[in-house]
Amino acid sequence: MKVIVAMDSFKGSLTSLEAGNAVREGILASCPSAEVTVIPLADGGEGTVDAIAPYIHGISRTLAVTGPLNSPVEADYIFDPVSKTAYIEMAKASGLTLIKPEERDPYHATTYGTGELIKDAVRYGANKLVICIGGSATNDGGAGMLQALGAKFTDKDGKDICYGSIGLKDLAKISLSGLIGKDLDITVASDVTNPLCGPDGASHVYGPQKGASYEAACKMDGWLLNYAKTAGFDPYEKGTGAAGGMSFALKNFLGATIRSGADIVTEITGAESLIKDCDIVITGEGRMDSQTANGKAPYKILHLGKKYGRRVFGITGILGDGYEECISAGFERITPLITPTMDTTKAIQSVIETARSLSENYLKEVP
């Protein structure tokens, strides 16, 4: 029996590979003769570059950059000298996990540090970028990133605006004469389809998890609208609201192409060819609900499994509202953890026990 395990991370508890290896251990405890292959799974958010790094065989570069609240942080990216491609993860420089929950401040959080990573990659010789933009602490529309790359954002008096979303309220003029990166081949890894502005936009949908009240979200939405109008770009274009509008900046100012992060990861890892040659597929994430069936990373694995007529099972931390849609979409079964927990060590053990139980009760019955 050949089993492919492709688990997304359990945010706050397990990385993709930690979850996948725990599933593998549980299966082998029940079926020692099984051939279990673990591949990483991610959608462009936190942990994506670390997940694909073993498949890139590039050089890791670490540097001090400006963190989301202007304090220095160390961030790394991967550079492939053969293809001259840099793989950059926004969360490493501008991520929500870099600041304490009580310090979250979307008014002032900046993407400047991500711009510094891009700038370093260009200086190092990259002519292609793959930028993974999930998990940000920011809501500045990527303005800080553009400022780091040489763009000028000024108010009506010609003075530089301050970093963060709050600076956009004073924005009167944008100068791109000093902007670097316009000649790069840039791919944005994101599975978010929200626009920059409006009720479904970056501020209202993702602002609250970054510390914004409803009133703050309304203000930031207005500031982003001013930003889009000043720049002359559509604030309601689908997909431009990812990572507090980082996708808006990358697409419109730097000509980037937005692609599904999960698709990029499955291509790099060769997931399709592995699934084509297996008997059973196991995938999952920390919470599986109606959003999973709307195109999240485990759904991409489900789609590949069904394409080749494979049975696909899910393992999740918890089952959320609308998880039945996942069953309707084609999952054979979705099994929640026996003991849901945020503690990494306990979570690993719970995944092992859950996978063993799944294997004993269901996988052995799979021809």
pLDDT digits (tens, 9 = 90+) for 136-158: 999 999 999 999 999 999 999 99
Q: How far apart are CA 269 and CA 264, in angstroms?
A: 9
Q: How far apart are CA 28 and CA 16, in angstroms?
A: 19
Asked whether residue 186 is assigned to any structural domain, the reply reads yes
Asked whether residue 153 falls in the same domain as residue 300, the answer is: no
7: pLDDT strictly greater than 70: yes
Residue 59 is predicted with a pLDDT of 95
Q: How far apart are CA 48 and CA 189, in angstroms?
A: 9
Residue after which a domain boundary falls, among 231, 259, 287: 259
Asked whether residue 311 is assigned to any structural domain, the reply reads yes
365: pLDDT strictly greater than 60: no
Q: How far apart are CA 309 and CA 199, in angstroms?
A: 40
User: Residue 190 belongs to what domain range?
Assistant: 48-259
Asked whether residue 237 falls in the same domain as residue 153, the answer is: yes
240: pLDDT strictly greater than 90: yes
Write the DSSP symbol of residue 14: B
User: Across residues 201-227, what is the average pLDDT?
Assistant: 97
Asked whether residue 26 falls in the same domain as residue 128, the answer is: no
Which of 11-15, 212-216, 293-297, 346-350 has the highest average model confidence (pLDDT)? 212-216
Write the DSSP symbol of residue 84: T
Residue 367 is predicted with a pLDDT of 53
Asked whether residue 64 is assigned to any structural domain, the reply reads yes
pLDDT band at 294 (very low <50, low <70, confident <90, very high): confident
User: Across residues 241-266, what is the average pLDDT?
Assistant: 96
pLDDT digits (tens, 9 = 90+) for 302-316: 999 999 999 999 999
Among candidates 59, 95, 100, which has minimal Cα distance to 77?
59
Asked whether residue 55 falls in the same domain as residue 81, the answer is: yes
Asked whether residue 331 is assigned to any structural domain, the reply reads yes
Among candidates 306, 315, 309, which has minimal Cα distance to 347?
315
Asked whether residue 265 is assigned to any structural domain, the reply reads no
Asked whether residue 37 falls in the same domain as residue 96, the answer is: no
Residue 341 is predicted with a pLDDT of 78
Tell me the residue ranges of DSSP E strands in 103-211: 128-132, 152-154, 173-175, 185-189
Q: Hunting for tokens 């389809």 — which residue is that?
A: 193
Residue after which a domain boundary falls, among 259, 294, 328: 259
CB 49 within 8 A of CB 88: yes
Q: pLDDT averaged over the chain?
A: 94
| pTM metric for this prediction | 0.90
Residue 192 is predicted with a pLDDT of 86
Residue after which a domain boundary falls, among 259, 285, 312: 259
DSSP string covering 274-306, please? HHHT-SEEEEE-SEESTTGGGT-HHHHHHHHHH
Q: How far apart are CA 237 and CA 242, in angstroms?
A: 11
Asked whether residue 169 falls in the same domain as residue 211, the answer is: yes
Task: Write the CATH number for 166.
Answer: 3.90.1510.10
Least confident piece of the model among 25-39, 194-208, 237-251, 353-367: 353-367
Q: Hunting for tokens 């979705």 — which residue is that?
A: 334
Q: Furthest-apart CA pair in the chain: how many Å?
A: 73
pLDDT band at 292 (very low <50, low <70, confident <90, very high): confident
Asked whether residue 264 is assigned to any structural domain, the reply reads no
Task: Write the CATH number for 36.
Answer: 3.40.50.10350
Coil, helix or strand at residue 106: coil
Q: Hunting for tokens 């540097």 — which residue is that?
A: 63
pLDDT digits (tens, 9 = 90+) for 70-98: 999 999 999 999 999 999 999 999 999 99
Among candidates 155, 137, 270, which has minimal Cα distance to 208?
137
Name the CA radius of gyration of the chain, rounded: 21
Asked whether residue 102 falls in the same domain as residue 20, the answer is: no
Asked whether residue 95 falls in the same domain as residue 184, the answer is: yes
119: pLDDT strictly greater than 70: yes
Asked whether residue 148 falls in the same domain as residue 209, the answer is: yes
User: Across residues 20-39, what is the average pLDDT?
Assistant: 94
Asked whether residue 21 falls in the same domain as residue 88, the answer is: no
Q: How far apart are CA 138 and CA 105, in angstroms?
A: 8
Asked whether residue 347 is assigned to any structural domain, the reply reads yes
CB 317 within 8 A of CB 286: yes
Asked whether residue 59 falls in the same domain as residue 31, the answer is: no
C-alpha distance across the termini of the chain, in Å: 8
Asked whether residue 204 falls in the same domain as residue 285, the answer is: no
What's the structural domain count of the chain? Answer: 2
Asked whether residue 130 is assigned to any structural domain, the reply reads yes
Residue 361 is predicted with a pLDDT of 83
pLDDT digits (tens, 9 = 90+) for 42-79: 988 888 998 899 999 899 999 999 999 999 999 999 99
Structure tokens at 346: 């306990």
